Structure 1
Amino acid sequence: MPAMGSRPATPVDAAVPATALGINLSGLQTFNRQQVFANMIAQSEWFSSRGSGWTAMPQAQLDADGWVIGLDPGQTAPRPLVIPAAPFRPVEVRCTFGGRGELAAGGVARITGTAGNAIDLELTPTGDEGEGAWIELLATDPADPLRDLDCRKAGTPREARFDPEFLTFLSGFSAIRFVDWQRTNDNAKVRWSARARPESGSQVGAAGASIEDMVDLANAVGADPWFLMPYDADAAYIGSFAQLVHRRLDPGRKVYVELGNEVWNDIFDAAGQAEREGMALGLGGGDATRARMERYADKMIGAMRIWTRVYADRPDALVRVCATQHANPDLARIVLGHDGSADWVDALATAPYIWLDLDGYRNGDVDRVFAAMPESLSRTFAMAEDNRAIAKAHGLRYIAYEGGQHLVTTDLVLARAVQRDPRMGEVYARYLEGWRRRFGDTLVLYATSAPIAGYGSWGLQEYAGQPASETPKLTALRQFQAGIR
């Protein structure tokens, strides 16, 4: 595999659309080690502690916005703080709050001063994978509970909603997909009245992040948002969602809309639900897979009808997406061939991952892994050709809702060696350039920041601010972005 460099991009056939790189945002939880909100507690929830263990805070002890309204004898309420971006050095933080209560601090956070309804903290992160920081509610006045807690780095304006370093990180991406911010894979029963709002005490609850925040983030970085309608959402929810986006999103931006996430994928609850519903409705001629995909098609049509009505005044700003399995083009044929569904979407999307089955690979097999990468890349591009042909037959764009490497192993020594190897940057350089020359259009990589783990190494970086020498995927991406500007 040739070495990656900063040479100018090679010419592309005029029939291939220009490449637009997007990014899937990792979940907001603090373990993904990227500060998103200026308020460092927005990415966590209250826990209940009695002695040494933490458990979920009972809902009965929280108000409608998620603030603790009372503590039992012997109970405290810890609340994690997101670790600021590297380089790791002492960080001064001020927490302000309303109401009356007593706070302590733990982990790499310590209190350095108190003044009325404010406390000052110093965070001293080292970068250790297991470290954490938290504040702890020791007491609260039931008549005037502690609430509206806001902890932000010293000097951060009170009106700042997002962390400036996070906004900088997102610069250069043309689209932002919110699958994990929306907690789409939970397949929760959603109600419009119970959605998260910007003023909610947490943005990582069961309702996911607020729609307002997602739209505002897209506006702030000049990117097109990509939303996923919950599989179980009713027409009222979808309509209200669409109307809010229509009102709030910069009218110069496009919005991508998809139903659910990977409804074809057995690991997600929505897939099983769609199959059961499809079979019960007599879809698919008795074939369970076909019944699942035809049920997905029917529900997709319903959702896209609603968005089409809301965006009737500017239809070119709406990109309605049908998403199917990259490795099984027959699923796209089923969905797009069912009941005129192709008339209700603008693009077919798949996930052209660079995939390799790592069963049987062990620490020390790094060279073997990279020796297999060219074949894996050729295989995923061949599948992309098949899916693009299906999209073209229906007059649709062909785009990617997720992409990048898909190397999953529980051998974390092997995983770390592979993910941090400079050759991973060469793989990404070839992947991105191959996509640009052969397919173009929108490629949304997965994902921003996440630690290496047994369930995958999905982050372009393991933590925010990680040195470029340790992030070959992100480094290759930035070089590619510079070349296509």
Structure 2
Amino acid sequence: MPLLVALALLAFPPQTSYRDKIGVGLEGIGSRGLEFVDVMKTTRPLEKPSGGPAKIDANGWPLEDFKLVAFDMRPVMAWAPPMDDPEGYQMDVSGSYSLSFKGKADLTIAGDSPDFKIANKKYDPAQNLTTADLICPKGKALMVVTFQNTGGAVKDIHLLRPGYSRASKQVFTTPFLKAIQPFPVLRFMDWLDSNGTNPFYGDAKNTTEWSDRHLPTDATYTRQGRKFGVPWETIIALANEAKKDVWINIPVAASDDYIKNLAALMKRDLNPQSAIYLEYNNEVWNWGFLQSTYNRMAAEAEVKAGNSNLNNDGEKNWDVWRRRRHARRSLEIGQIFLNAFGKDSFGKRIRPVMAWWVIAPDQYKDMLEWVKRTYGAPNKYFVAIAGAPYFNPHEAPKTASPDQLLATLRRATDAWVPGRKTLIDLAKSYGLKCYAYEGGPDSGGGDPTNVANRIRAHRDPRMKELVYRDLKTNWFDLGGDLFMYFTLTSASSRYGMWGLSEDITQTNTPKWQAIHQLMGK
């Protein structure tokens, strides 16, 4: 090797790439991700023109006159000032939207400006098809469309974003596909509407069945009765088109039949090269979500009924029962998928994960020990344990400046090192990997106090170094494995500044720069 080359390598050693170890969680649909070409898939539930839910059929199409909120991309609290965002950033969603639907209707359009327009409206009686262009002016971000004199016969509504022809069959927007390109794994927790959508355990019908799910043909993929979450077929279509592995969250109330049907669907339709990470719902440990209550009630009812292995050692603490039930259901989900894909797919295509509360390694250990005593070695059933090692500025003064917030965030990620190392070492002791099912800087919580400076801190160029340090030095260098950053996009508000960016078209923010560097770009 020439001397100059050798000296250069010593001075600038090749950078390790973590390209295969950084995934991303997708924001809930209908927000800054602009995921679908057809806006109709992410509209709010249809309303009567005068307010209140509109009557709909089984597929979500209206049975009477109605209005739809096509989108609202205004900064948080723009509707009830003052806004959270000191800069009032608003992504550009202006342009001409292509509307089409079966049937006839009188249309009016409104929003955050009187300058919205309807143009080129036509009705083709041969096809019973109405078409029109809806014009959203520059700088505006709320579109509401009212359909009247419909006779309850309007169906098959499509509202395509600017830049896509009315004949386009493209499902996912080009900016969205470009933004997810660097990540090998996508987590669909928010797409699946995992939090608080499951039935109450005390309901007469307290399971989620395969027939309860959304279908691609449904009017919208937002919550509608017992239907919630993007259709599995659509998730598969995205994974296939983008060539991604999927991290999916199984509903807490899903029956075995639901899981068997899902496994069969994925075996049949998912790209054979795509791996499937399996997680039982989301944060079943978290009392802020209904799934935690469901799991506890199910565990208590089972023990009360007798012949349960949740108390096979005489354990009398319901909190232990609920943790064991969570571990067991995580195990059972994996086994159902392995029955469909073949036992030799374990750790390859099928990757069951036992996720729990990251600050409680003793509880992980208790669950793993119970699995070991009851079923055998945990690494025969799980590939990893997982937690959400966020770092936050909670120790900062209430009136902290951006500089103070960034300094507190730096101390917070470094303070996490012992706790993360404990969990990573615990995983290794059972022959398991340690994943982060979510992670990144957390400055949310819903409190509007000092929110302007919290947002400024997240936009600061120094956030790049913080995110880089949190993932590389304080996760990967400790032995941590797959890190699922939360999230790809989001608004910035009192509820959090989660996103790598606030606009799907912007992939050079400080947080994004950290990801690019970690991936060796």
Q: TM-score, normalised by structure 2?
A: 0.81
Q: 2:437 aligns with which of 394, 398, 401?
A: 401
| Counterpart position of 1:346 | 383
Q: 1:372 offset after TM fit, Å?
A: 2.2
Q: Cα 1:168–1:207, aligned 2, differ >3 Å: closer, same or farther?
A: same
| Counterpart position of 2:67 | 77
State how far apart, in whole Å, the 1-side matches of 2:92 and 2:69 are. 21
Counterpart amino acid of 1:336? L
Counterpart amino acid of 2:249? L
State how far apart, in whole Å, the 2-side matches of 1:391 and 1:216 are. 33
Extract unaligned runs of 5+ from structure 1.
1-6
| Counterpart position of 2:360 | 328
State how far apart, in whole Å, the 2-side matches of 1:101 and 1:314 are. 56
| Counterpart position of 1:241 | 262
SS in 1 for 2:149: strand
Q: 2:158 aligns with which of 149, 153, 156?
A: 149
SS in 1 for 2:428: helix
Asked if residue 198 in structure 1 is aligned to residue 216 in structure 2, the reply is yes
Q: 1:264 offset after TM fit, Å?
A: 1.1
State how far apart, in whole Å, the 2-side matches of 1:94 and 1:83 are. 19
Preserved CA contact (<8 Å) 1:40 1:82: no
Asked if residue 473 in structure 1 is aligned to residue 502 in structure 2, the reply is no
SS in 2 for 1:422: coil
SS in 1 for 2:68: strand
Further displaced range: 219-228 or 82-91: 82-91
| Counterpart position of 1:232 | 253
| Counterpart position of 1:3 | none
Counterpart amino acid of 1:167? L
Extract unaligned runs of 5+ from structure 2.
1-11, 75-88, 124-129, 200-207, 304-309
| Counterpart position of 1:167 | 177
| Counterpart position of 2:329 | 299
| Counterpart position of 1:388 | 424
State how far apart, in whole Å, the 1-side matches of 2:392 and 2:325 are. 28
Q: 1:178 offset after TM fit, Å?
A: 0.5
Q: 1:416 offset after TM fit, Å?
A: 1.5
SS in 2 for 1:395: coil
Further displaced range: 277-286 or 76-85: 76-85
Structure with greater Cα Rg: 2
Amino-acid identity (%): 23
Q: 2:96 aligns with which of 78, 92, 96?
A: 92
Preserved CA contact (<8 Å) 1:148 1:201: yes
Q: 1:440 offset after TM fit, Å?
A: 5.0
Counterpart amino acid of 1:319? R
Q: TM-score, normalised by structure 1?
A: 0.87
Preserved CA contact (<8 Å) 1:274 1:296: yes
| Counterpart position of 2:394 | 357
Alignment: residue pair count:
455
State how far apart, in whole Å, the 2-side matches of 1:180 and 1:465 are. 20
| Counterpart position of 1:422 | 461
Q: Deviations over 1:431-455 (max 9, x none)?
A: 2322333335311000121112222
Report the RMSD for the aligned CA atoms in angstroms. Answer: 2.6
Q: 1:118 offset after TM fit, Å?
A: 0.3
Q: 1:329 offset after TM fit, Å?
A: 0.6
Greater than 4 Å deviation, 4+ residue runs = 7-12, 82-87
Preserved CA contact (<8 Å) 1:83 1:132: yes
State how far apart, in whole Å, the 2-side matches of 1:174 and 1:213 are. 18
Counterpart amino acid of 1:81? F
SS in 1 for 2:109: strand
State how far apart, in whole Å, the 2-side matches of 1:278 and 1:19 are. 37
Q: 1:103 offset after TM fit, Å?
A: 2.2
| Counterpart position of 2:403 | 367
Q: Deviations over 1:311-370 (max 9, x none)?
A: 116512111111011111112112212223723211111112123325x63344322222
State how far apart, in whole Å, the 2-side matches of 1:472 and 1:290 are. 42
Q: Cα 1:18–1:63, aligned 2, differ >3 Å: closer, same or farther?
A: closer
Q: 1:49 offset after TM fit, Å?
A: 4.3
Preserved CA contact (<8 Å) 1:83 1:133: no
Q: Deviations over 1:376-396 (max 9, x none)?
A: 112323222111122112211
| Counterpart position of 1:64 | 58
Q: 1:257 offset after TM fit, Å?
A: 0.7
Preserved CA contact (<8 Å) 2:15 2:520: no
| Counterpart position of 2:120 | 113
Asked if residue 288 in structure 1 is aligned to residue 309 in structure 2, the reply is no
Q: 1:373 offset after TM fit, Å?
A: 2.7
Counterpart amino acid of 1:27? G
Q: Cα 1:361–1:8, aligned 2, differ >3 Å: closer, same or farther?
A: farther
State how far apart, in whole Å, the 2-side matches of 1:317 and 1:187 are. 28
Q: Cα 1:389–1:87, aligned 2, differ >3 Å: closer, same or farther?
A: closer
Preserved CA contact (<8 Å) 1:94 1:154: no
Preserved CA contact (<8 Å) 1:449 1:460: yes
